[in-house]
């Protein structure tokens, strides 16, 4: 479910109900996520105010006066807002209960997500220290990407999904941006021309921005916390479209596996170099 646009959509939906509010308590029903949820949250959080919510890569940071709760949705995490208490269901692992009565409930069947506590300054947190730039920021541009991938003998798809190079580009949008740029996912970084890199950067930004405008992509079960589905799925060009006609040339889209992730490619439009 969650790629960057889904995280952004989630954050925008929950912010009005959460930001500026004082925390009542946190209920951790199951603490075994990607890393153990620190139990110290139960004593630290009550009476702290969530001053702002920030996104870094696909992590959300709930900033308080003294530190931040860092939340990652993993592969299957969903946050939703409850206006009144209801019995938790399967995989409802965490409730963050605000003093205004709103409950932020975290559901994550596969438990690849994370809830961590980081004291300020957040930038020094080990997970954030090695991260590359945000894909939608000015720092991520053609000059930068050319310098990062120009000598790399690795498929460009793997490279743009590497967090040290650029954060937040997941499998769906990597496939889409490569198709739009007519670049094969297996083409090595070192073989790309500057023009191709310019196109790729442009399309990564474009596809992410468009998806955010649509409220993310609903493939299986993504609903934003306010209950709205994402509408970007209807704009997908190649992702999940094996054997369907390429929207450019009608050649059947093929599915292949690159570095253990599914790629969807038009063999005509995206020849391997």
Alpha carbon 56 to its chain centroid, in Å, reads 9
Q: Is 135 in the site for DNA (CB under 7 A)?
A: no
Shortest reach from residue 6's CB to DNA, in Å: 6
Which of 56, 58, 157, 241 is labelled catalytic?
Answer: 58
Q: Mark 198-217 with x for binding to DNA (rule: CB under 7 A) and - for no binding.
A: -------------------x
Q: Mark 105-134 with x for binding to DNA (rule: CB under 7 A) and - for no binding.
A: ----xxxx--------------x-------
E-only strand ranges, the chain: 23-28, 52-56, 59-63, 67-72, 78-82, 92-98, 103-107, 114-119, 254-258, 261-265
Contact 215, 232 (CB under 8 A): yes
32 is catalytic: no
Q: Is 254 in the site for DNA (CB under 7 A)?
A: no
User: Could you tell me which residues come within 8 angstroms of residue 186 by beta carbon, excluding any fewer than 6 positions away?
Assistant: 155, 156, 157, 258, 272
Shortest reach from residue 160's CB to DNA, in Å: 11
Q: Mark 18-47 with x for binding to DNA (rule: CB under 7 A) and - for no binding.
A: --------------x-x-------------
Angle between helices 194-213 and 142-149 (to 10 degrees): 120
Nearest residue to 178 via CA among 273, 57, 264, 268? 264
Binding site for DNA (CB under 7 A): 1-3, 6, 32, 34, 57-58, 72, 74-76, 90-91, 109-112, 127, 151-155, 158, 161, 163, 168, 170-172, 217-222, 259-262
Known catalytic residues are 2-3, 58, 261
């Amino acid at each position: 479910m969650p790629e960057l646009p889904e995280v952004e959509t989630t954050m925008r939906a929950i912010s009005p109900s959460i930001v500026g509010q004082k925390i009542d308590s946190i209920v951790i029903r199951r603490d075994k996520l990607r890393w153990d949820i620190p139990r110290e949250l139960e004593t630290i959080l009550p009476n702290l105010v969530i001053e702002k919510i920030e996104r870094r890569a696909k992590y959300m940071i709930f900033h308080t006066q003294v530190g931040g709760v860092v939340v990652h949705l993993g592969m299957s995490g969903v946050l939703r807002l409850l206006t009144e208490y209801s019995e938790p269901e399967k995989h409802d692992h965490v409730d963050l209960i605000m003093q205004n009565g709103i409950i932020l409930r975290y559901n994550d069947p596969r438990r690849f997500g994370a809830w961590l506590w980081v004291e300020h300054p957040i930038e020094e947190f080990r997970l954030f220290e090695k991260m590359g730039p945000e894909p939608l920021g000015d720092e991520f541009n053609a000059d930068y990407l050319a310098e990062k991938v120009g000598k790399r003998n690795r498929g460009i798809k793997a490279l743009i999904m590497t967090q040290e190079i650029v954060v937040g580009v997941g499998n769906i949008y990597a496939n889409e941006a490569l198709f739009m740029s007519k670049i094969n996912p297996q083409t090595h970084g070192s073989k790309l021309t500057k023009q191709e890199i310019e196109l790729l950067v442009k399309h990564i930004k474009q596809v992410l921005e468009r998806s955010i405008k649509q409220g993310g992509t609903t493939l299986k079960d993504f609903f934003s916390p306010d209950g709205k589905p994402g509408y970007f799925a209807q704009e997908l060009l190649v992702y999940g479209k094996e054997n369907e006609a390429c929207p450019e040339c009608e050649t059947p889209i093929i599915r292949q596996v690159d570095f253990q992730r599914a790629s969807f490619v038009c063999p005509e439009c995206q020849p391997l170099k």
